[in-house]
Amino acid sequence: MPVDHTTIYCWVQKYAPELDKQTRWYRQVPDWQASSWRVDETYIRVGGKWCYLYRAITAGGQTLDSYLSPKRNVAAAKRFLAKALRSNASAGYPRVINTDKAPSLARAIAELKSEGICPPTVEHR
């Protein structure tokens, strides 16, 4: 039975988020890797539109979370970091968050600390 590549793409778009939710518990990161996060954003083209891809990875290179945003601002960075912290709370909070010192990420981390979403012990480098 021949299947068009666009059908496969539609299936991936539809079922990948649910599969991610169902398997996230299984993909837990070892404590020694989860204690240090690398967070960065990059400008990519998706569906003909330019947007920012925020990513958080461990010291071992395992992706913790990602987020697509049309804007690169404090609100987008804050939304991404809050989402990443919530979705990885079972593994514990990171000891260090390493960034490229983008002002939006630095301010988002500071605001999340003041709101109690991110522990004050988390170091931003």
Q: Is the pTM of this model over 0.85?
A: no
Question: Out of 1-5, 107-111, 118-122, which region has the weakest mean confidence (pLDDT)?
Answer: 1-5
**DSSP one-letter code for 95:** S
* Dist. CA 32–CA 94, nearest whole Å: 10
- Domain locations in the chain? 30-124
Which residues contact residue 66 at a Cβ distance below 8 angstroms, ignoring those fewer than 6 apart? 53, 54, 55, 56
- 30-124 to CATH, choices 3.40.190.10, 3.30.390.50, 3.30.420.10, 3.20.20.70: 3.30.420.10
User: pLDDT (tens digit, 9 = 90+) per residue, 18-65?
Assistant: 887 777 666 665 555 568 899 999 999 988 999 999 999 988 788 889
Confidence category of residue 105, pLDDT binned at 50, 70, 90: very high
Contact 69, 51 (CB under 8 A): yes
